[in-house]
């Protein structure tokens, strides 16, 4: 008899249907079903589930659950909502997602590097004025977070000849990149960089890490790209740094409250580019294959794939 794998998600109907289709096609040896389609024995037996932003109350309907395969790379919400659970959380680590994120980092770094916000402003004023072009090698891009996504994005920027530095919790050794760790390392990256790219998880240690002090450590006229989580940045401090001109421009893809409320000053701020959390969406086909392979391996060997470390929060 085919093993039944529950799929648990708070996503829209279209998202759920799209995921079920992709997962069923990637793992035909299993039966992948929504919770409501499962009978009581199936709910009682499930040891593993595939999740995409699951409701904690739904997971509680699976009493034997040992681990979940998340279809998201960021697991902040599930970790926060199930703080005491012993269930292991395996996040999505998809090389395709890293490539998609690297493409977004490259696109928005070039947008800032080639002064596009300024030329856009000039166009609204019918103003013809040229500004000097800076070479990529004279521009330092600093990454906060050198994990799966940060490393690939840093590699792509190196290929474009940018100077790259980065900060992580533990020491990283990456060819061509000046790396730092620890509190003094954060200061070093912020003060060296013309563009700071945030690609670290939201944890107890990182919440609000880009506060007034961090922003004042950044170079005058530097820019910020936040592609990780909104709550890493203190919004009031960032708005004040943008208003004063200390920070020239911010590209924000993620916000403390999403969708970004219409009342947010970010929408109309001339020095802010608002994106609706699109820098690196999960690619269903590749993510489903990764979930399929992890789950098949678990049933073959009994080994749960590498899970996130709850004590670190990521």
- Which residue is catalytic, options 169, 229, 249, 284? 229
Q: State yes or no: residue 217 binds ligand NAP (CB under 6 A).
A: no
Helix (H, G, I), strand (E, B) or coil at 5: strand
Binding mask 229-248 for ligand NAP (x = CB under 6 A): x-------------------
The 10 Å CB-count burial string (b at 16+, else e) for 22-57 is bbbebbeebbbbebeebeeebbeebbbbbbbebeee
- Which residue is catalytic, options 24, 66, 277, 310? 277
Q: State yes or no: residue 94 binds ligand NAP (CB under 6 A).
A: no
Locate the DSSP E strands across 57-138.
67-70, 88-90
Among 200, 224, 241, 287, binds ligand NAP (CB under 6 A): 200
**229 annotated active-site:** yes
Binding mask 35-54 for ligand NAP (x = CB under 6 A): --------------------
Residue closer to ligand NAP (CB basis): 102 or 295 = 102
Instruction: Name residue, tokens 């079903």.
Output: 33
Q: Which residue from 294, 278, 280 is spatially nearest to 23, judged by alpha carbons?
A: 294
CB 246 within 8 A of CB 215: yes
CB of 17 to ligand NAP, least distance (A): 22
**249 annotated active-site:** no
CA pair distance 84, 86, nearest whole angstrom: 7
Helix (H, G, I), strand (E, B) or coil at 246: coil
Residue closer to ligand NAP (CB basis): 6 or 150 = 150
Length of the chain: 314
List residues near ligand NAP by CB under 6 A.
Answer: 73-74, 145-150, 167-170, 172, 199-201, 203, 205-206, 227-229, 253-254, 277, 279-280, 314
Active site residues: 229, 277
């Amino acid at each position: 008899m085919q093993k039944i794998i529950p799929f648990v998600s708070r996503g829209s109907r279209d998202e759920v249907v799209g995921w079920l289709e992709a997962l069923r096609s990637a793992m035909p040896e299993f039966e992948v079903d929504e919770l409501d389609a499962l009978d009581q024995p199936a709910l009682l037996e499930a040891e593993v589930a595939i999740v995409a932003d699951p409701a904690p109350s739904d997971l509680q309907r699976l009493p034997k659950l040992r681990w979940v395969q998340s279809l998201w790379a960021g697991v902040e919400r599930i970790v926060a909502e199930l703080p005491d659970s012993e269930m292991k959380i395996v996040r999505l680590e998809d090389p395709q997602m890293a490539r998609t994120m690297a493409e977004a980092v490259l696109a928005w770094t070039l947008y800032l590097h080639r002064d596009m916000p300024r030329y856009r402003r000039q166009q609204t004023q019918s103003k013809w004025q040229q500004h000097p072009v800076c070479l990529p090698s004279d521009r330092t891009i600093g990454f906060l977070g050198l994990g799966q996504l940060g490393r690939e994005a840093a590699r792509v920027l190196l290929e474009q000849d940018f100077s790259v530095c980065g900060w992580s919790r533990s020491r990283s050794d990456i060819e061509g990149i000046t790396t730092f760790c620890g509190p003094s390392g954060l200061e070093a990256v912020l003060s060296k960089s013309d563009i700071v790219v945030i690609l670290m998880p939201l944890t107890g240690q990182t919440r609000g890490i880009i506060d007034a002090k961090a922003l004042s450590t950044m170079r005058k006229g530097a820019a910020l790209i936040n592609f990780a989580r909104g709550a890493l940045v203190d919004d009031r401090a960032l708005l004040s740094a943008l208003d004063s001109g200390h920070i020239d421009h911010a590209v924000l893809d993620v916000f403390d409250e999403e969708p970004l409320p219409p009342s947010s000053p970010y929408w109309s701020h001339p020095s802010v580019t608002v994106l609706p959390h699109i820098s690196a969406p999960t690619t269903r086909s590749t993510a489903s294959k990764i979930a399929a392979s992890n789950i098949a391996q678990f049933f073959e060997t009994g080994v749960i794939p590498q899970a996130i470390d709850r004590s670190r929060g990521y």
